[in-house]
């Protein structure tokens, strides 16, 4: 056994020594924990940096695409037109010519309806919901022949007027009238006739992109031209259609019937006597063939007449097999009817 000195060991020294050791151990644990946390944070940071992004912005909606995108795909649409104040636009497969014209009338729009197709674009000027005239910057497309009214006009004057139309789109008949080279009244009539003849080509064109630009300044050179009702102007254009190609299918057994607002609209149209008789045959049960037979028309004439009302969306055709059949009378009803006649 060790020898005792007889003096007790100082308790304070032992406590300080114990506290110092525990402090060192705690410090070591703290450092090791900090190292572990730092390592975990570093590993987490590396993982986050390497992980792919989980959020991506949604693509722009198709409805948000502007007319600028159309200018990249549709021939003839200029940047100036694409950035203009476009009120509506679309292909005629989705937005028919009639619906576009009806929108002009209903909203009383002022500006230009522009049609882009495989030839020079066509413009229809409108003022307060009525048609002023249709034109194009291709004078040969606008008027390929030589009207009799130009017979006494110098050829150079006519050529200059046509050149002006190529630059501004103003019908050369108006230019000649303003120069007093031709009388004003015949000029206005020719502007309407050739504008409608120009527009009729769009009724049967397979692919047309149309847009309406609201801009009163477009009519700055048309202030002296009278306006016309939209439906009457369109019908007059359709009357100039002399033949229909195979793309305009016609089934003689189909049954024309009025659309929802067709009957009300036809009451306001200025119909010819032939058109009025043809329209009076629409009852939802008669086929086009039967109507032609009743009016003693050949099928070609009946097709042309029916095409006018179809293009204006006044009627629509249903297959003959879906037509409602007249209700058959019972034996008792027929007996009562025969008794009534006997009296």
Token pair listed for 32: 């090791």
* Helical (H) or strand (E) element with 17: helix 11-50
Sign of CA dihedral 127, 129, 134, 137: positive
Query: Please, what is the angle between helix 184-204 and helix 230-239, to 10°?
Result: 80
**pLDDT at residue number 7:** 43
User: CA 333, CA 202: separation in Å to the nearest integer?
Assistant: 53
What are the contacts of 326-331 at 24+ separation with CB within 8 A?
326/285
**pLDDT at residue number 78:** 53
CA 41 vs CA 32, 46, 90, 328: distances in Å: 14, 9, 56, 88
**pLDDT at residue number 281:** 96
- Extract the runs of DSSP E, i.e. beta strands, from 11-160: 86-91, 111-116, 122-127, 130-136
**pLDDT at residue number 342:** 52
**pLDDT at residue number 222:** 81
Residue identified by tokens 């130009």 is 150
144, 162 contact by CB (below 8 A): no
- Give the residue among 243, 246, 257, 244 at the shortest CA–CA distance from 285: 257
User: CA 165, CA 81: separation in Å to the nearest integer?
Assistant: 18
Residue identified by tokens 């229909």 is 244
254, 287 contact by CB (below 8 A): yes
Residues in the chain: 343
User: CA 3, CA 1: separation in Å to the nearest integer?
Assistant: 6
- Give the residue among 135, 154, 257, 129 at the shortest CA–CA distance from 196: 135
Sign of CA dihedral 156, 162, 167, 171: positive
**pLDDT at residue number 84:** 59
* Helical (H) or strand (E) element with 256: strand 255-258
pLDDT digit string (tens) for the chain, length 343 residues: 444 444 444 444 443 444 444 444 444 444 444 455 444 444 444 444 443 343 333 333 333 343 444 445 555 555 555 455 899 999 999 999 999 999 999 999 999 999 999 999 999 999 999 999 999 999 999 999 999 999 999 999 999 999 999 999 999 999 999 999 999 999 999 999 999 999 999 998 988 999 999 988 878 778 789 999 999 999 999 999 988 876 567 889 999 999 999 999 999 999 999 999 999 999 999 999 999 999 999 999 999 999 999 999 999 999 986 545 554 455 445 545 555 555 4
**pLDDT at residue number 21:** 46
DSSP string, 269-334: S---HHHHHHHTT-SSS--HHHHHHHTT--HHHHHHHHHHHHHTTSEEEE-GGGSPPPPPPPHHHH
pTM of the shown model: 0.70
* Helical (H) or strand (E) element with 255: strand 255-258
């Amino acid at each position: 056994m060790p020898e005792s000195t007889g003096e007790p060991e100082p308790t304070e020294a032992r406590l300080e020594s114990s506290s110092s050791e525990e402090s060192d151990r705690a410090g070591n644990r703290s450092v090791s924990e900090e190292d572990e946390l730092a390592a975990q944070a570093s590993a987490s940071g590396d993982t986050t940096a390497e992980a792919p992004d989980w959020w991506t912005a949604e693509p722009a909606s198709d409805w948000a695409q502007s007319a600028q995108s159309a200018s990249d795909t549709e021939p003839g649409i200029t940047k100036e037109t694409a950035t203009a104040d476009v009120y509506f636009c679309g292909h005629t497969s989705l937005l028919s010519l009639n619906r576009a014209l009806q929108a002009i009338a209903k909203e009383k729009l002022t500006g230009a309806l522009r049609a882009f197709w495989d030839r020079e674009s066509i413009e229809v000027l409108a003022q307060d919901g009525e048609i002023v005239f249709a034109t194009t910057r291709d004078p040969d497309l606008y008027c390929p022949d030589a009207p009799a009214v130009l017979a006494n006009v110098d050829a150079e004057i006519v050529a200059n007027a046509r050149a002006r139309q190529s630059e501004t789109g103003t019908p050369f008949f108006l230019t000649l009238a303003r120069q007093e080279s031709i009388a004003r009244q015949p000029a206005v009539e020719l502007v309407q006739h050739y504008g409608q003849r120009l527009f009729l080509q769009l009724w049967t064109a397979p692919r047309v992109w149309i847009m309406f630009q609201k801009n009163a300044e477009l009519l700055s050179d048309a202030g002296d031209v009278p306006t016309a009702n939209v439906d009457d102007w369109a019908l007059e254009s359709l009357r100039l259609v002399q033949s229909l190609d195979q793309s305009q299918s016609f089934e003689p057994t189909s049954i024309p019937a009025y659309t929802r607002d067709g009957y009300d609209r036809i009451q306001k149209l200025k119909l010819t006597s032939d058109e009025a008789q043809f329209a009076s045959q629409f009852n939802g049960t008669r086929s086009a063939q039967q109507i032609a037979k009743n009016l003693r028309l050949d099928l070609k004439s009946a097709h042309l007449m029916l095409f006018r009302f179809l293009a204006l969306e006044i009627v629509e055709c249903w297959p003959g097999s879906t037509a409602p059949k007249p209700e058959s009378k019972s034996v008792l009803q027929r007996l009562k009817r025969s008794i009534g006649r006997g009296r």
